[in-house]
Structure 1
Amino acid sequence: MASMLTTVSGCKFCEIAKNEKDLHLKSKDRCVVISDIKPKAKHHYLVISKQHIAKPTDLTAADIELLEEMERTGREVLREKLKKSGEADTVEDMLRVGFHYPPMLTVHHLHMHIIYPISDMGLISRKFTYRPGKIFRATRDVIESLRDAAGIPDPLAGNPAVNDSLEQGISAHAIAN
């Protein structure tokens, strides 16, 4: 599969994904993880798609599995780094995972930011550049938008572990006891 992935001549991230293996913290079928060269927190990683996709607005529902693999791989690297340095496992409220959207793109190759802990970030990075919203979108929101646009139902819809209730109105807590 990897040999079928498209690359663009002159694209720095295509070059990193394909040839600069010494920079790879982890490599999977469709993505690689590297350290950000201008980290905004103690842990700031980029998950780069091996397939050249210029920007998040080019994504379709067919790319949902890619995004899920990218997020899973980035989280694996973060957990490994935290464990290696004796830190606690990931605290979701201290984590940013997502993509910059136009006009904030500086590299035109799909890459996901994994930033932890957000308390390390400077004010501008935390409140503007990497704040979830229009210019920086959380990966979960991107996936949800792609599902909605394609009419794909949320696979967790109705799952009692997510919404803590069943259709009959019995709470998940009552069932577990």
Structure 2
Amino acid sequence: MSWQTGLIKTILDPSNWIISTDVAVVIADKFPKARHHYLVLPKADIASIFQLNKTHLPLLEELHLLAHNVIEIRGEKIDNFQIGFHAEPSMQRLHLHVISKDFVSSCLKTKKHWNSFNTPLFLPYDSQ
């Protein structure tokens, strides 16, 4: 498996799940770009946002609900987070980022990392 398929391998192991439902799971990002960085992934094999259509609206609503749930169970405030997708995803498997706005992390090493969350490369969920 290449690094681009790492998310698929990670969600196959339930010990990585913070929250799970019948259709999706929440995991901690292995290379967090902030103090809190979670990924919400469908269990269905959807490669990226580019494979979504109208039939996926209930799934997207479930992913968004789980994003709010992980913030709540971590005892944090929603206003301190960004929730969204990358316009140019580097990892295979659709995933919704739930990331705190502090961007404090030893994994935030490059301009590309910063830009992927702080420019139009980050598509906020609520703007869709």
Identify the TM-score tier after normalising by the shorter chain. Answer: 0.7 to 0.9
- Structure 1, unpaired ranges of 5+: 1-10, 83-88, 143-177
Aligned to 1:157: none
Given that 1:132 and 1:138 are in contact with CA atoms closer than 8 Å, whether structure 2 keeps it comes out as: no
1:78 deviates by 1.5
- The list of structure 1 runs, each at least 4 consecutive aligned residues, that deviate by more than 6 angstroms after superposition, is none
Instruction: In structure 1, give the amino acid aligned to 2:125.
Output: T
- Helix, strand or coil at the partner of 2:46: coil
Aligned to 1:7: none
1:95 deviates by 1.3
Instruction: Report % sequence identity.
Output: 26
- Helix, strand or coil at the partner of 2:22: coil
- Helix, strand or coil at the partner of 1:25: strand
Given that 2:47 and 2:93 are in contact with CA atoms closer than 8 Å, whether structure 1 keeps it comes out as: yes
1:107 deviates by 0.8
Given that 2:35 and 2:102 are in contact with CA atoms closer than 8 Å, whether structure 1 keeps it comes out as: no
The 2-side partners of 1:79 and 1:27 are apart by 15
The 1-side partners of 2:103 and 2:36 are apart by 9
Aligned to 1:39: 32
Aligned to 2:93: 109
The 2-side partners of 1:15 and 1:42 are apart by 23
Considering only aligned residues, what root-mean-square deviation do their CA atoms show, in Å? Answer: 2.2
Given that 1:67 and 1:139 are in contact with CA atoms closer than 8 Å, whether structure 2 keeps it comes out as: no
Aligned to 2:9: 15
Aligned to 1:168: none
- Helix, strand or coil at the partner of 1:22: helix
Aligned to 1:119: 102
Aligned to 2:56: 63
Provide the TM-score with structure 2 as the length reference: 0.81
Given that 1:40 and 1:120 are in contact with CA atoms closer than 8 Å, whether structure 2 keeps it comes out as: yes
The 1-side partners of 2:33 and 2:9 are apart by 23
Given that 1:14 and 1:50 are in contact with CA atoms closer than 8 Å, whether structure 2 keeps it comes out as: no
Provide the TM-score with structure 1 as the length reference: 0.61
- Structure 2, unpaired ranges of 5+: none
**Which of the pair has the greater relative contact order for Cα pairs under 8 Å at 6+ separation?**
2
Instruction: In structure 2, give the amino acid aligned to 1:106.
Output: S
Q: Which has the higher helix share?
A: 1
1:35 deviates by 0.3
